[in-house]
Amino acid sequence: MRKLENSELDRLSVEDFKEVTKTPLIVILDNIRSLNNIGSVFRTCDAFRIEKIYLCGISATPPHRDIQKTALGSTNSIDWEYAECTLELIRKLQLNNIQVLSIEQAEKSTMLNKFMPKKKQIYAVVFGNEVKGVSQNVVNESDQIIEIPQYGTKHSLNISVSCGIVLWDIFNKLS
């Protein structure tokens, strides 16, 4: 078995990426501290053709050297916007019939493997701060809380890992 060369991967150009149909998912980063995590989220969103990223609160925005280091140019392909207040943003999205899903460990959460997205529904998925998680006021206003099942001793995943797991799962369910 031979590894494929980069030239064999049928990669889209940035211009072509902007024109293709996107996965009906919006990613919201709620006060993410690590610029490397933000860059990784951009790259994951590019991989699954995510519609848009919102960077909220203390989350840094491109261009920044530490974001670029892990984003590998995906800040040019993914549509993104800064919003100062996550809570105001999710309320605005909900008024536009977008379902807000916070990824968090909470009472009455739905396990990710049990969550079945509706094909014609647009979802906004909120990922929280590396230490504090999704802020409680955002959890309170979310339409649903989705939890990633974990079976070890830590019950904690890096935000970029959580993003990869959740986007891959929902992407597959919508495909």
Render pLDDT for 61-70 as a digit per residue (tens, 0 to 9). 999 999 999 9
Per DSSP, the three-state class of 48 is coil
The CATH number corresponding to 19-174 among 3.40.1280.10, 1.10.8.50, 3.20.20.80, 3.30.360.10 equals: 3.40.1280.10
Task: Report the predicted TM-score, pTM, of the whole model to 2 decimal places.
Answer: 0.95
Rounded Cα–Cα distance for residues 159 and 41 (Å):
8
Q: pLDDT tens-digit profile of 4-40?
A: 998 899 899 999 999 999 999 999 999 999 999 999 9
Helix axes 35-47, 159-174, angle to 10 degrees: 10
Which positions ≥6 away from 141 have C-beta within 8 Å?
87, 90, 91, 94, 100
